[in-house]
Amino acid sequence: MTQPKRPAAPRGFSTRAIQAATRTPRVDQRPNAVPIYQAVTFSADDAAELGAITTGAMPGYSYARLANPTGDTLAAAIAELEGAEAGCVFSSGMAAIHAALMSVLQSGDRVVATRAIYGSTRVLLVNRFGRLGVQVDFVDATDLAAVDRALAGSPTRVLYVETISNPTIVVVDVAALAALAHRHGALLIVDNTFASPVLCRPIEVGADLAIESLTKYLGGHSDTLGGSVAGSRERIAEVKAIEIDTGATLAPFAAFLILRGIATLAIRMARHAETARRLAEWLSTQEGVARVFHPDLVSHPQHEVAARQFPHASGMLAFELAGSPVAARAAGGAFIDALTIPERTASLGSIHTIVAHPPTTTHRQYDEAQLAEAGIGAGLLRCSVGLEDADDLIADFAQALDAARAAAAAADASDAARTTERPASVGAG
């Protein structure tokens, strides 16, 4: 039992200043926003209590790398949104992907991953986990027979997919893939970032772990980094251990900003989706646009899967500019440079519309063969549709397409001129 403290003797100015500046107020009323617990250390009543909290023998807080109240509130909110027993939050989406994989993989294990995958995730799997003795094979995750053969070919620990792929907007059947994975003794890990829990909750249809880049739709304002993993209590305990051991802790202010974003997530997603649908329909009728990828279009290869799996599409679309590789690449750069509303930046899921050229941004690590294998053409543009007015975006895209067509024509003319040039004749000696 803690002994009552003796009355303090008069203390010096520095001692009084430190104690006065860190004395927490008593608040009997419940705040309407989760407080930012911007503290690294938390005090216990005695040494025994501190030890019990630090070792996990009793709930509480001691050191922010282990746990922080603002972060824990966000983790609980993520679990509820995902329909999972528990959640864990991280300093970035890539930190969440790393921890989810690290929590279940060891040397000698095998991963079967979707061919349509985020560039940094592929690098993490092949270059980092591969170096540790993990075998990684890629498959078209929309071809269930091919996935079945891949899983049957060799014992597999993880089937890894993206609900909606980055950047080609490929949609997978999460429930069917969960059944296949479990039939072959594998775990299904799903990156759900492009869909968000508004559109899809992978855990509810059989996935073992669901990952979100909280930087994207859940945060929603391009002002904070974060990531999350959701799943069963047992699996998240293993994921949490990786977070603690690697120090990939989410800062409390970032957790506060993401909680603020979650409050308006459903409303924002509906607006993102409606504007993206309008923009995709318009783009599909435009000269110089070879293909448009958006699940609401009947031309999308997985339109029926998306219609069955999602209440509506997300705000993500992609489109391929027409022309030879040289012309299409030139057109892509001209299109982006001509835009006046979208931000010329990376990332997605923001209030701002963002148009990116995947071969030089999100999938910059890929060589030409890997780009072709992933279905990423020279003129592919990925568009994260923001919350601006649809008519304004369509008008801006129209004038950018004019610039793209002009750039493609100029590139074709330049390429034709080079191919018709003949070397100077060499005189006989």
Q: Which of 65, 271, 278, 291 is catalytic?
A: 65
Q: Distance between CA atoms of 74 and 88, rounded to whole angstroms?
A: 8
| Range list of β-strands (E), 56-191 | 86-90, 110-114, 135-139, 158-162, 187-191
Question: Token pair 């990786």 is at which residue?
Answer: 242
For the record, the structure tokens of 291 come out as 């293909």
Pairing of strands 209-213, 187-191: parallel
- Please provide the DSSP assignment of 185-244 as one string: TPEEEEE-TTTHHHH--GGGGT-SEEEEETTTTTT-SSS---EEEEE-HHHHHHHHHHHH
Which of 110, 157, 216, 268 is labelled catalytic?
216
Q: Which residues pair with 233 in a beta bridge?
A: none
Instruction: Give the separation between CA 107 and CA 343, rounded to whole angstroms.
Output: 42
Q: Active-site residue among 72, 109, 173, 191?
A: 191
Q: Which of 118, 160, 217, 366 is catalytic?
A: 118
With b for 16 or more beta-carbon neighbours within 10 A and e for fewer, the 142-178 pattern comes to beeeebeebbeeeebbbbbbbbbbbbbbbbbbbbbbb
> Are the C-beta atoms of residues 376 and 319 closer than 8 Å to each other?
no
Q: Is 235 exposed, middle or buried (0-12, 13-18, 19+ CB in 10 A)?
A: buried
Placement of tokens 């080079």 in the chain: 418
Whether residue 65 lies in the annotated active site:
yes
Helices 69-82 and 252-262, interaxial angle, to 10°? 30
Q: What is the rounded CA–CA span in Å between residue 126 and residue 113?
A: 11
- Rounded Cα distance between 417 and 2, Å, is 88
Range list of H helices, 247-389: 252-262, 265-283, 303-309, 325-338, 368-373
What is the C-alpha to C-alpha distance for residues 41 and 52, in angstroms, rounded to an integer?
15
Strands 289-293 and 316-321: antiparallel
Concerning whether 216 is annotated as a catalytic residue, the answer is yes
Identity of the amino acid at 179? A
What's the order of all strands across the beta sheet hosting 209-213? Answer: 86-90, 227-231, 209-213, 187-191, 158-162, 110-114, 135-139
Residues recognised as catalytic: 65, 118, 191, 216
